[in-house]
Structure 1
Amino acid sequence: MGRWLFWGVLLAIAGGAVSVWRGWLEVPPQWNPWAPLDIKAAPNWLTGYKLMRLRSDPALCEQALSSSDLRVSPQADSPGAKCPLVGALRVQGGGVALSSSFIASCPLAVAYAMFEHHTLQPAAQSVYGQKIARVDHLGSFACRNVYSRESGALSRHASADALDIAGFRLAGGRTISVLRDWPKQNQDAEFLRQVRDGACESFSVVLSPDYNAAHRNHFHVDVGRWSVCR
């Protein structure tokens, strides 16, 4: 009896999934695995899956990005380069200014928009009662190996899938630095830890000063296929 119940439930779930996929059964977009990602919608247990789908579907990624406030411009493709870029964007900022624009793959741009909306600003409001006005970064695209070694695997920076974030400026002018403030035990350190932990909901990899000395002055965030939050 138990076995038949198991198979009955499994078939019901499969039938429901097919019905949603085919459009025979309507569910709210946030609960539809095949609906485009809405960057401003509250994240749920399907968000990670929707972010993952963007890596192999440029049209779907572009559609998701259009739901954000980011200003972006397309970059010329460089398929013959040592570190080829296809479909890359220059991110110029949005609701939060940037210390400078940066080059990003579409999935990185979407993840950054999610991070800004759902992690960065809520953390700033929670800790300081004001918004973040600017994000200071150390760059994104760089055609190099991991840790700039002479040999070995290419860094996620080599495909514009990574960004190094060094600090933040509040609307009131106060600055928070990963290098200066992470080791402290105060409000700024609390904010940085909230940002690090929340970033793991948008990016697949987040490396902070807790990871190693090479990250003592920044958060490395990327949208590669590995999953690390430290």
Structure 2
Amino acid sequence: MRILASPTLRRACVAGLLAALATACSTESVMSLRPDVDVGTRTAGVPAAIPITPVPADPIVSVPTDETAQTPADPSPAPADPSLTAYPHFEMPAEPVEVMPSDEVACRRDLKRLGVEFRDLDPIHEGGCGIDWPVQVSAIGSVEMKPAATLSCAMAATFSRWTRKELVPAARWRYLSGVKAIHQGSSYSCRNIRGSRGTPSQHSRGNALDVMRIELNNGRDIDVRKPGWFAFRQRGFLNTVRQDGCDYFTTVLGPGYNADHADHFHFDIMQRRNGYVACR
């Protein structure tokens, strides 16, 4: 027992034991323990592979975790341009609307009281001519204006007042008939006074109207041109029209004044010094 206990003897015994184990556990000895099998195209004892039809995988659905879960989106639609949300929205200022002066408003009320059929037109500005607040007159009561006249409201009101208070009564007195239509030859027109050195005509301001003839309800058509020597009634009527016009207009020119006015009456409301009226 004491011999076995010595370190040298113990190491020798351990070495011998390890060598014996290595010899017993060699590859050849291990392979000799295999069962006799017939190794063919497939391993014996392993059943043939059964064909398996692949099953399509379910679509992957991303489920947010607690950390990635978000609150439901705002149902209101997103702006078309996200960049607009980063800056304040400014609207372009609207163009100022020009307000009709009070005298023009009052003038239109006057036209309505006189029974004038008219419509407002856009402002007229062409060169040195124009009307800021023009109206187009198509009738004065039952009296038609042919063609419709483009005038300043002040001229339209003056002419309408003269038509109702002077022209129509004169026709009834002389011809026992009302006036059907006034045939005018020129209302607004951008031009100078003929023969002048660039002096604008009152037509260029809408403050003048030329009357060529007057049509009555009884079918008579009175031409403004100077009547014959024996046309006493027509002569008297035209003289009355001319004379009464001087109480309403600042200028009344007609046949006999000059060649330019031989076939019509010219009426205007030109502002003159000291209230001068040219009635010729």
Q: By how many angstroms is 1:225 displaced?
A: 0.7
Q: By how many angstroms is 1:63 displaced?
A: 2.7
| Secondary structure at the counterpart of residue 210 of structure 2 | strand
Contact 1:182–1:192 (8 Å) recurs in 2 = no
Please, what is the CA RMSD of the aligned residues? Answer: 1.9
Matched, 1:135 2:182: yes
Equivalent residue letter for 2:278: V
| Secondary structure at the counterpart of residue 173 of structure 1 | coil
The residue that corresponds to 1:192 in the other structure is: 238
| Structure 2 residue ranges without an equivalent (≥5) | 1-101
Q: TM-score, normalised by structure 2?
A: 0.58
| Match among 106, 111, 124 for residue 60 of structure 1 | 106
* Aligned counterparts of 1:200 and 1:181: Cα–Cα separation in 2: 21
Matched, 1:228 2:267: no
Per-residue CA shift, 1:137-179, capped at 9, x if unaligned? 10111101002x4732100000110000011111011111012
Q: By how many angstroms is 1:87 displaced?
A: 0.4
Equivalent residue letter for 1:122: P
Per-residue CA shift, 1:10-56, capped at 9, x if unaligned? xxxxxxxxxxxxxxxxxxxxxxxxxxxxxxxxxxxxxxxxxxxxxx9
The residue that corresponds to 2:156 in the other structure is: 109
Q: By how many angstroms is 1:224 displaced?
A: 0.9
Equivalent residue letter for 2:106: L
Using the TM superposition, name which of 92-101 and 154-163 deviates more: 92-101
| Match among 122, 132, 138 for residue 86 of structure 1 | 132
Contact 1:182–1:209 (8 Å) recurs in 2 = no
The residue that corresponds to 1:156 in the other structure is: 202
Structure number with the bigger relative contact order (C-alpha 8 A, sep ≥ 6) is 1
Q: Which has the higher helix share?
A: 1
Instruction: Check 1:200–1:67 CA distance in 2 against 1; reply closer, same or farther (3 A cut).
Output: same
Q: By how many angstroms is 1:183 displaced?
A: 6.2
Per-residue CA shift, 1:163-219, capped at 9, x if unaligned? 000111110111110125276541111111111111112212111113222111000
Instruction: Check 1:126–1:160 CA distance in 2 against 1; reply closer, same or farther (3 A cut).
Output: same
Seq. identity, %: 28
| Secondary structure at the counterpart of residue 124 of structure 2 | coil
Instruction: Check 1:110–1:168 CA distance in 2 against 1; reply closer, same or farther (3 A cut).
Output: same
Q: TM-score, normalised by structure 1?
A: 0.70
The residue that corresponds to 2:222 in the other structure is: 176
Please say which structure displays the higher CA radius of gyration: 2
Equivalent residue letter for 1:102: A
* Aligned counterparts of 2:265 and 2:162: Cα–Cα separation in 1: 13
The residue that corresponds to 2:13 in the other structure is: none
Per-residue CA shift, 1:55-100, capped at 9, x if unaligned? x932332232221111010110134644122100011113201221
Equivalent residue letter for 1:134: A
Regions of 4+ moved over 4 Å = 182-185
* Aligned counterparts of 2:143 and 2:109: Cα–Cα separation in 1: 21
| Secondary structure at the counterpart of residue 194 of structure 1 | helix
Instruction: Check 1:66–1:157 CA distance in 2 against 1; reply closer, same or farther (3 A cut).
Output: same
The residue that corresponds to 2:121 in the other structure is: 75
Instruction: Check 1:183–1:228 CA distance in 2 against 1; reply closer, same or farther (3 A cut).
Output: farther
Instruction: Check 1:136–1:183 CA distance in 2 against 1; reply closer, same or farther (3 A cut).
Output: farther
| Structure 1 residue ranges without an equivalent (≥5) | 1-55
Equivalent residue letter for 1:68: L
* Aligned counterparts of 1:105 and 1:182: Cα–Cα separation in 2: 35
